[in-house]
Amino acid sequence: MICKTDMSVNKTFLSIVVLLLVAVAAVAQQRTAQQRRARVDSVLAERYYRTPYDTNYVVRPAGRLTLKARLNQTGNTFHAKGTINDVYSEADLSTSHKTTLSLAAIYRGIGVGLAVNPAKWGGVYKDYEFNLNFYSSRLSLDASYQRSQSLTGDIDGDRGAHRLERDDVKMKVLNLAAFYTFNHRRFSFPAAFTQSYIQRRSAGSWLAGISYQAGSIKTTDHLIGRSPQAPSVRLYVGHLGIGGGYGYNWVLGSKWLFHFSMLPTFVVYNRNNLTVRGERKKSQPMRLNMIFNERAAIVHYFSPRYFAGATLVMNNSLFDNEDVVINQNKWRARAFVGVRL
């Protein structure tokens, strides 16, 4: 016969054994997770420090994690003029400036970011804009797409002057610039624009690249309802440029980095046209004009851990045909502060 005391002792013993087994399993699981994290970090570290640069000129910064706070602002302006059926018109338009605040975290070269637009949350800014900037040792890319009804400005011509207000015209436009860095062992775009590398000595490089711009601007029913005498207008932009340029990183002491680069491209093909009241005027498809891509940056290192700076990226097109003239100026400015941990 088994007494109640023995049963109680057995239950207590089993409970202790179960708790010990759970504790051992938890410790083993924790060690396994730590080992996995260590292996992942080792792989990322090996990839991170396997630099494609000459380390006498460009190196990786110390620390695993980089945190950055950024203030961004973008804008777009258009100048267009044309003559259809002996009727001349000229327009100067600009979009509302887009201002965003963003936070970014980069671990071993892999980053994530979060951006907010206070004006859009408040209903003031209703446009849509997407920006993509990729900088590597050899190939880099600047791309932006904007959909806007905030264009405002003046249209002058033979039939008088008109003021364009918000929602009078609708714009969709794509800007793209891709370029190759020849002196990719000593000159670093990421050092100036993403701070994922540090330029130790001054260096420059010749660049080769292509530029592409496409989009349209057309009047809306809102304008016709507000001004019945206003003509229906559609301006279409689509041109491709090929060219070359130069970029330079100037290192001043161990605290400052100054960058400037320019990539002018020659338009080798276009589909630009202007339509007024159903009458379309096309530009010459092989008309030779220019698209310019300019970049500037300044970075100041307060210490190995703390830094701050500003960057500017611009795309400017100068397209001058006998009957259709289109100039676009797209820009994006950014100020930032960062810390490395």
- Give the Cβ contact number of residue 316 at 10 Å: 17
pLDDT value of position 331: 92
Q: pLDDT digit string (tens) for 242-275?
A: 999 999 999 998 899 999 999 999 988 888 777 7
Q: Whose CA is closest to 193, among 326, 21, 68, 279?
A: 68
Q: pLDDT digit string (tens) for 110-123?
A: 777 777 777 766 66
Burial class (CB in 10 A: 0-12, 13-18, 19+), 264: middle
DSSP 177-243: EEEEESSTTT--HHHHHT-SSEE-S-EEEEEEEEEEEEEEEEE-HHHHHH-TTSPPEEEEEEEEEEE
Quick check: helix, strand or coil at residue 8?
Answer: helix
Q: Can you list the residues of the chain whose pLDDT is less than 50?
A: 1-2
Cβ(271)–Cβ(236) under 8 Å? yes
pLDDT value of position 179: 95
Cβ(265)–Cβ(242) under 8 Å? yes
Angle, CA of 273, 276 and 280, to the nearest 5°: 40
pLDDT value of position 198: 94
Structure tokens at 181: 């860095």
β-sheet bridge partners, residue 24? none
Q: Rounded to an integer, what distance in angstroms lies between the CA atom of residue 13 and that of residue 17? A: 6
Q: Rounded to an integer, what distance in angstroms lies between the CA atom of residue 320 and that of residue 284? A: 10
CA-to-CA separations, 64 to 21, 105, 183, in angstroms, rounded: 36, 11, 27
pLDDT value of position 20: 64
Instruction: Label residue 193 left, alpha or beta by phi (over 0 means left) and psi (-120 to 50 means alpha).
Output: alpha
* Residue 214: CA count within 13 A, CB half-sphere: 9
pLDDT value of position 46: 66
pLDDT value of position 262: 96
Angle, CA of 297, 298 and 299, to the nearest 5°: 125
Cβ(270)–Cβ(317) under 8 Å? no
Q: Rounded to an integer, what distance in angstroms lies between the CA atom of residue 215 and that of residue 236? A: 6
pTM: predicted TM-score of the whole model, two decimal places: 0.82
Q: Rounded to an integer, what distance in angstroms lies between the CA atom of residue 94 and that of residue 98? A: 12
* Residue 274: CA count within 13 A, CB half-sphere: 24
Structure tokens at 226: 């507000």
